[in-house]
Chain A
Amino acid sequence: MASTACFMIISKNDIPIYEAEVGSALKKEEAAHQHQFILHAALDVVQDLAWTTSAMFLKSIDRFNDLVVSVYVTAGHTRLMLLHDSRNDDGIKSFFQEVHELYIKILLNPLYLPGSRVTSSHFDTKVRALARKYI
Chain B
Amino acid sequence: MADPAYSALRKMLLDEITPVVMVLPTPLVEERCQKNGLSFVQMLTPFCVFNNIDVPVRTASDQPYRLQKFKLRMVYASDVRQPNVEVTKERLKQVITDAGNIEDSDLYLEPSSIETISTSSQPDFVPTWFQFFNKEFVRSVSFSDHEAFDHPVACLLVVSSNDKDPINKFVDLFNMNQLPPLLNEGAMDPKIPKVFVLLHDNQDGSSERASKILAEMRNTFGANDCRLLCINSLQDGAPAHEPNPWEFYMPNASPDQNLGRLLNKEDVDELRDFVRDVSSKDIIPNMEQRIRVLNQQVSATRKGFRNQIKNLWWRKGKEDAPENQTVNMYTFSSIESQIRVLGDYAFMLRDYELALSNYRLLSTDYKLDKAWKRYAGVQEMMGLTYFMLNQSKKDAEYCMENAFTTYLRIGTSGKGNATRCGLWWVEMLKATGQYKEAAGVYFRISGEEPLHSAVMLEQASYCYLLAKPIMLRKYGFHLILSGDLYNKCDQIKHAIRAYRNALSVFKGTTWSHIRDHVHFHIGQWYASLGRFDVAMKHMLEIVACSHQSQPMQELFMKNFFQILQKTGKTYKIPRLQLPIVNISSLNIVSEDHRTYGSPAAVSVKESIWQHLEEEMVPSLTNAKTTWLDLQSKLLPNKLKQSNVCVAGEALKVEIAFKNPLQLSIPISSVTLMCEYSPNEPQPDASSSANQTVEDGKTNSDTSFFTLSEVDITLEGGETTLAELSVVPRIEGRLKVTGVSWKLSDSMIGYYNFEPDLIKKRISKGRRKAKQTTNKLEFLVIKSLPRLEGIINNLPTTVYAGNLQRLSLQLKNSSDIPVKNLKMKISHPRFLNIGNPETVNVDFPACLEKQKTSSNKDKDIDTTKKSESVFHFPEDTVIHKENTFVLPLWFRAATPGNVSLYLTVYYEVEDKSTAMRYRTLRTHHILEVLPSLDVSFNISPCPSKLQEYIVRMDVINKGLKSLKLRQLSSVGSEWQISLIESIQDLIPSGNLVPGQALSAFLKLKIANKTETETDVWLGHGGGGAVFDTRRAPLVNFHHYEQLSQKTSRQEHESTVDFMLISEMESETENQPPQIFSHHACHCSVSTKRPIWWLLDGPKIIHYNFTNSLCETKLKMTIHNSSSFPSSITINTFDSPPGTSISSGNKVGWHDMSSTPSEPRVPPPESAKAVVLESVPPFIWTGSSTTHVKLGPNSTTEVWLLVTTFAPGTYDLSNYSLHWSLVGCGDVREKEGWYLEFDNFMKKSGFRRREVDRGCYVKNLRSFYIILELKGDVVGSDT
Point out residues on A near B: beta carbons under 8 Å.
14-16, 29, 32-33, 35-38, 40-45, 47-48
Contacts and interface: CB of A to CB of B under 8 A. Distances in A.
Interface residues of B, number: 21
B511 A16 contact: yes
A44 B511 contact: no
Interface stretch (B469-477, B821-829, B1216-1224): B469-477
Interface string B462-489: 0010000101111011101000000000
Contacts of A35: 513
B575 interface: no
B551 to A, nearest CB: 7
B469 A48 contact: yes
12 contacts: A14-B510, A29-B551, A32-B513, A33-B516, A36-B512, A37-B477, A37-B514, A41-B477, A42-B473, A44-B464, A44-B471, A45-B474
A29 B549 contact: yes
Contacts of B1112: none
Contact of A40 (B464, B469, B473, B552): B473
Interface in B472-529: 472-474, 476-478, 480, 509-514, 516-517
B477 A38 contact: yes
Interface string B24-46: 00000000000000000000000
B552 A36 contact: no
Given A29-B551, A41-B477, A36 B511 contact: yes
A58 B1174 CA distance: 119
B464 to A, nearest CB: 8
A15 B512 CA distance: 10
A31 B1093 CA distance: 101
B960 to A, nearest CB: 47
Given A29-B549, A29-B551, A29-B552, A36 B514 contact: yes
B549 A40 contact: no
B520 to A, nearest CB: 9
Given A41-B474, A41-B477, A43-B473, A33 B551 contact: no
A35 B477 CA distance: 11
Contact of B473 (A29, A33, A41): A41
A120 B140 CA distance: 58
Nearest to A64: B477
A40 B514 contact: yes
Nearest to B552: A29
Nearest to A16: B511
A43 B517 CA distance: 19
A40 B551 contact: no
A48 B471 CA distance: 10
B516 to A, nearest CB: 7
A45 B439 CA distance: 13
A36 B513 contact: yes
Q: Which 8 pairs of residues, A with B, have the shortest CB-CB distance?
A: A41-B477, A33-B513, A33-B517, A44-B471, A15-B510, A36-B513, A44-B473, A41-B473
A29 B551 CA distance: 9
A6 to B, nearest CB: 10
A48 B552 CA distance: 35
A32 B516 CA distance: 11
Contact of A16 (B469, B472, B510, B517): B510
A40 B517 CA distance: 14
Contacts of A41: 473-474, 476-478
A32 B549 CA distance: 10
A36 B476 CA distance: 12
Nearest to B480: A37
Interface of B: 464, 469, 471-474, 476-478, 480, 509-514, 516-517, 549, 551-552
A15 B509 CA distance: 8
A33 B519 CA distance: 12
Nearest to B517: A33
Contacts of A14: 510
Name A's interface SS.
helix
Given A35-B513, A36-B512, A44-B474, 19 more contacts: A14-B510, A15-B510, A16-B511, A29-B549, A32-B513, A33-B513, A33-B514, A33-B516, A36-B514, A37-B480, A37-B514, A37-B517, A40-B477, A40-B509, A40-B514, A41-B474, A41-B476, A41-B477, A44-B471
Contacts of B509: 40
B469, B478, B511 pick with most chain A CB within 10 angstroms:
B511
Contacts of B512: 16, 36
A35, A40, A42, A47 pick with most chain B CB within 10 angstroms:
A40
Contacts of A36: 511-514
A99 B841 CA distance: 79
A50 to B, nearest CB: 13
B512 to A, nearest CB: 8
A21 to B, nearest CB: 11
B209 to A, nearest CB: 69
Contacts of B478: 41
A41 B513 CA distance: 14
B530 to A, nearest CB: 26
Contacts of A29: 549, 551-552
Contacts of A40: 473, 476-477, 509, 511, 514
A68 B512 CA distance: 21
A84 B477 CA distance: 18
Nearest to A32: B513
Contacts of B464: 44
Contacts of A16: 510-512
Nearest to B467: A44
B480 A44 contact: no
A34 to B, nearest CB: 9
Nearest to A30: B517
A101 B511 CA distance: 24
Contacts of B476: 40-41
Contacts of A15: 510
A44 B549 contact: no
Contacts of B473: 40-44
A118 B107 CA distance: 40
Nearest to A27: B549
A80 B517 CA distance: 23
Contacts of A32: 513
Given A29-B549, A29-B551, A37-B480, A44 B514 contact: no
A33 B549 CA distance: 12
A14 B551 CA distance: 28
Contacts of B552: 29
B506 to A, nearest CB: 8
Contacts of A45: 474
Contacts of B517: 33, 37
A16 to B, nearest CB: 6
B310 to A, nearest CB: 48
A43 B509 CA distance: 14
Contacts of B472: 44
A47 B474 CA distance: 12
A38 B552 CA distance: 20
A8 to B, nearest CB: 9
A35 B480 CA distance: 13
Contacts of B516: 33
A14 to B, nearest CB: 8
A46 to B, nearest CB: 10
A37 B499 CA distance: 13
Nearest to A48: B469
Contacts of A47: 469
A30 B492 CA distance: 20
B541 to A, nearest CB: 14
B515 to A, nearest CB: 9
A135 B464 CA distance: 32
A125 to B, nearest CB: 19
B508 to A, nearest CB: 11
A60 to B, nearest CB: 16
A117 to B, nearest CB: 9
A41, A42, A45 pick with most chain B CB within 10 angstroms:
A41
A29 B469 CA distance: 33
A44 B511 CA distance: 15
